[in-house]
Amino acid sequence: MKIEALKIKAWCDSNLSAVAWQRIIVKISPEFRGSGLKLSNLLNPDQTVLLDDSQYGVIKKAVEETYDVSMSIMV
């Protein structure tokens, strides 16, 4: 399964805070190193930035650890 990073960013913006997405990306950036995704593409994703299940899992875990909220995104 692939999910658009833009959908996750939108969820963070509307359910957490205006800076939540940036905080999450900074937190997970070491785990995404070598994945082919640039930090700038993650901070400001467009519809072409797609994440696989493991990348989504890393983001979901970071949201839960940082905000104590379970993230649910409709694919």
Can you tell me the distance from the alpha carbon of 8 to that of 21, in angstroms, rounded to the nearest whole number? 8
The DSSP string of 27-71 is HHHHHHTTSS--HHHHHS--TT-EE-HHHHHHHHHHHHHHHS---
The pTM for the full model equals 0.87
For the record, the structure tokens of 23 come out as 């905080």
pLDDT tens column, 12-24: 999 999 999 999 9
Within a 10 A sphere around the Cβ of 5, how many other Cβ atoms?
25
What is residue 38's predicted lDDT score, i.e. its pLDDT?
Answer: 84
- Within the chain, which residues score under 70 in pLDDT? 74-75
Within a 10 A sphere around the Cβ of 32, how many other Cβ atoms?
17
What is residue 71's predicted lDDT score, i.e. its pLDDT?
Answer: 87
What is residue 75's predicted lDDT score, i.e. its pLDDT?
Answer: 53
